Amino acid sequence: MTGKLGIAPFALLLLSAAAFAHHAYTAEFDTTKPIKLTGVLTKVEWANPHIWLYLDVKDENGKITSWGFSASPPGMLTRRGITKSSLRLGEVLTISGHRAKDGSNNSSGNIVTFADGRDALIGQDQALRPAELASPAPNNAK
């Protein structure tokens, strides 16, 4: 069946799949739970739809916990001057964002502070809260 009636259900199915493929920021992250962690960059997943950065964060007792941070798509970061090669494994970074609603060790990644003190927006513009830059950086997520 190649007529308009035969294509319509297929097109509707594709459009509905696309709608579920991307989600609102607040569907995954809790904007009432800001987080700011400092740790060693251990992994970068540079792929669409969002890159992921992973930090090993040491708490006050010396226990290391791995955290994942969802950031903007690769193309958007590249336009902001952040490339895969500018995110060096082993580098100490501070990342602020918001905790995942599911309670996992995942977070949005909104602002990254590099070891040399430079700040960069790695999240979506609507996720940015300038006050996060001014707040002290706790080393735990409680």
Average pLDDT value for residue range 40-67:
97
Query: Is residue 129 pLDDT above 80, yes or no?
Result: no
Average pLDDT value for residue range 93-107:
95
How far, in whole angstroms, is CA 84 from its chain's centroid? Answer: 14
**Predicted confidence (pLDDT) per residue in 56-92, tens digit:** 999 999 999 999 999 999 999 999 999 999 999 999 9
> Which among 91, 113, 82 is positioned nearest to 40, based on CA atoms?
91
Produce one character per residue of 18-57: b if its CB has 16 or more CB atoms within 10 Å, e if not.
Answer: eeeeeeeeeeebbeeebbbbbbebeebebeeebbebbbeb
CB contact at 8 A, 93 and 115 = yes
| pLDDT band (50, 70, 90) for residue 10 | very low
Q: Which fold, 24-134?
A: OB fold (Dihydrolipoamide Acetyltransferase, E2P) (2.40.50)
Distance CA 68, CA 53 (A): 6
Q: How do the domains of the chain map onto residue ranges?
A: 24-134
pLDDT at 95: 97
CB contact at 8 A, 89 and 43 = yes
pLDDT at 2: 53
